[in-house]
Amino acid sequence: MASEQKTARLVRGDAIGLAREVLEIEAAAIHALIGKLERSFQQAVDLILACRGRVTISGIGKSGHIARKIASTMSSTGTPAYFVHSAEASHGDLGMITRDDVFIALSNSGESSELLAIVPLIKRQGAKLIALTGNAKSSLAREADVHLYAGAEKEACPLNLAPTASTTAALALGDALALALMQAKGFSRDEFARSHPGGALGRSLLTHVRDVMHAGADAPRVAADATLPEAIHEMTRGGLGVTAILDHEQRVIGIFTDGDLRRTLSTGANFNNTGVSSVMKRDPRTISADKLAAEAVQIMEQYKVNQLLVVDAERRLIGALNMHDLFKAKVI
């Protein structure tokens, strides 16, 4: 039994050591690409920016998986791209390629027979060809309009066989290409959010204060001459733990919260004869309705408040919200 436990510890130790080595090799492969970036990278960016048709990305095996991910990243960052399997391309899918397109081919060796078989057809169509390979002297690199080196000196695989560091390098270079295109196109946060409407990211980027605030009569408010009992009654009605204090022109001059109520009671103040304006917070933090809900979160966290009043340009009250509203909208 003791022998088995010792063996298990050794195996775990070897696994951690190997994992570190894998990460070091793959990180080194990405770092090495920095020094190998050439003018061809800018040429690839310019070629895609000038594309009047579609961007199609292809590969087979592990390179195919990387190609699919690069196509997905480009599509979500402002460069619509399509993945086509290299083997399927020669069986009908190549019909999607037109002379206005850019075709990006991934192959570490640059000698993938499936890709080389369709290169003449791509050229005949008049489409531009960008090759990502680990061999600048390969057949695919020679035939390409632009070649990008995306290889690695050695694989992270202990046998130096399984594509690991080379696929990591290709993926990183694909990310660099996609983000260079995004920056060149001036792709905005709002545009990014529109392509990610279903997740938390989309909610945080697309949800505005007006979408989550309690508007109109649902926003608690009392006049500046209201008594403390009147303010408490309004806070209870609104259910937000807060009420705005307004002047005669409906402009916000203060705020009164549950916390303010507890602090006021702890002082022994005369409950019935106290005016709310004497215990309110003056010039409270506010936000406009067209701001992102994420900005409301930032203000609440920065100033350690749980409620915000929503005002127009003249500081007239138009709504209110609290942290619970933002949780309910899944902004946080």
The confidence score (pLDDT) of residue 190 equals 62
Evaluate if residue 310 carries a pLDDT over 70: yes
Average pLDDT over every residue of 3-12: 50
The confidence score (pLDDT) of residue 108 equals 95
Q: Exposed, middle or buried by CB within 10 Å (0-12, 13-18, 19+), for 233?
A: middle
pTM > 0.85:
no
Contacts of 114 (CB under 8 A, 6+ apart): 60, 86, 87, 89, 90
**pLDDT 10s digits, 158-216:** 888 889 999 999 999 999 999 999 999 987 766 665 555 555 555 556 788 999 999 99
Evaluate if residue 111 carries a pLDDT over 50: yes
The confidence score (pLDDT) of residue 193 equals 57
Evaluate if residue 311 carries a pLDDT over 80: yes
| Residue 325 to residue 238: CA distance in whole angstroms | 13
Single-letter amino acid code for the residue at 331: V
Q: Return the higher-pLDDT residue of 7 and 291.
A: 291
Evaluate if residue 4 carries a pLDDT over 60: no
Average pLDDT, the chain: 88
In SS3 terms, the chain reads as CHHHHHHHHHHHHHHHHHHHHHHHHHHHHHHHHHHHCCHHHHHHHHHHHCCCCCEEEEECCHHHHHHHHHHHHHHHCCCCEEEEEHHHHCCCHHHHCCCCCEEEEEECCCCCHHHHHHHHHHHHHCCEEEEEECCCCCHHHHHCCEEEECCCCCCCCCCCCCCCHHHHHHHHHHHHHHHHHHHHHCCCHHHHHHCCCCCHHHHHHHCEHHHHCEEHHHCCEEECCCEHHHHHHHHHHHCCCEEEEECCCCEEEEEEEHHHHHHHHHCCCCCCCCEHHHCCEECCCEECCCCEHHHHHHHHHHHCCCEEEEECCCCEEEEEEEHHHHHHCCCC
The confidence score (pLDDT) of residue 249 equals 92
- Please name which of 140, 144, 166 lies closest in space to residue 155, comparing C-alpha atoms: 166
**pLDDT 10s digits, 114-136:** 999 888 888 888 999 999 999 99
* Angular region, 219: left φ>0, alpha ψ -120 to 50, beta rest: beta
Average pLDDT over every residue of 11-36: 88
The confidence score (pLDDT) of residue 332 equals 66
Main-chain phi, psi angles of 278, to 5 degrees: -85, -15
Domains of the chain, with CATH numbers? Answer: 2-187 (3.40.50.10490), 209-328 (3.10.580.10)
Residue whose entry in the numeric block shows the structure tokens 């997740």 = 199
Query: How large a percentage of the chain has pLDDT more than 90?
Result: 66
Evaluate if residue 230 carries a pLDDT over 60: yes
Single-letter amino acid code for the residue at 3: S
| Residue 194 to residue 192: CA distance in whole angstroms | 5
Evaluate if residue 92 carries a pLDDT over 80: no
CA 90 to chain centre: 35
Tokens of 267: 């002082």
Tokens of 90: 């020669």
The confidence score (pLDDT) of residue 10 equals 45
Evaluate if residue 218 carries a pLDDT over 90: yes
**pLDDT 10s digits, 258-307:** 999 999 888 887 878 889 999 999 999 999 999 988 899 999 999 999 99
Evaluate if residue 228 carries a pLDDT over 90: yes
| Residue 137 pLDDT class (50, 70, 90 cuts) | very high
The confidence score (pLDDT) of residue 73 equals 93
Single-letter amino acid code for the residue at 55: V
Contacts of 183 (CB under 8 A, 6+ apart): none
Contacts of 172 (CB under 8 A, 6+ apart): 30, 33
